[in-house]
Structure 1
């Protein structure tokens, strides 16, 4: 006699409420960052490696309070013309794992698809822009 297969796990009301709350947090994050380009596992390499200039990527989780603060600081940087992407680590798990993202937020600077620097400083636009400008000066391609 074969054992019965386990019954499928049904989402509980608590699970459904949690998913709805997470979606509201994602929507709020997107509303906070209209100038940041959302990327995922499928298009990260094309967006980053395909750009010959400096690309800044914020790795975040929608529920993370400090991520919202960092995103608010990155928004004026992106609006001023810098290429700034945002990657939701809970949806793009392969890319987050590839860069060993273990805490949020994480701000990384790439050039020609290569990781060049990791930001670890105040969550203020002026500090982030200064950090990007310092790194970009040393990364310019010869003309």
Structure 2
């Protein structure tokens, strides 16, 4: 399962109302570290898509959602479960670190 994009208009439906945990990548096209982490998130989505959804929010195109969750640095990776923000990671991290940080949602 590949990552998918969401917008300010669809964030509630795509993320907060999801039946499973959702990892949200707040990113922008001009952000170098965002481009570094993107292929890792695609891999995570392929490997763990049955346990967690991976959704991307372009902060330039969807500033309302980013502002609502206090995103000031990108990439910011937020995990939402049952409509609540339960974990936040700021910056690009290597895959082993992301898997470790997310293991409670991937088990």
TM-score w.r.t. length of structure 1: 0.67
How far apart, in 1, do the equivalents of 2:20 and 2:68 lie?
Answer: 21
Residue in 1 that maps onto 2:36: 69
Deviating beyond 3 angstroms after TM superposition, the runs of 4 or more aligned structure 1 residues are none
Contact between 2:74 and 2:90, CA under 8 Å: does it hold in 1? no
RMSD: 2.0
How far apart, in 2, do the equivalents of 1:133 and 1:42 lie?
Answer: 30
How many residue pairs were aligned?
104
Corresponding residue SS for 1:133? helix
The structure that is strand-richer by fraction is: 2
Contact between 1:35 and 1:78, CA under 8 Å: does it hold in 2? yes
Corresponding residue SS for 2:64? helix
Residue in 2 that maps onto 1:116: 86
Contact between 2:75 and 2:91, CA under 8 Å: does it hold in 1? no
Q: Which has the bigger relative contact order, CA under 8 A and spacing at least 6?
A: 2
Larger Rg: 1
How far apart, in 2, do the equivalents of 1:102 and 1:123 lie?
Answer: 17
The structure that is helix-richer by fraction is: 1
Residue in 1 that maps onto 2:14: 47
TM-score w.r.t. length of structure 2: 0.87
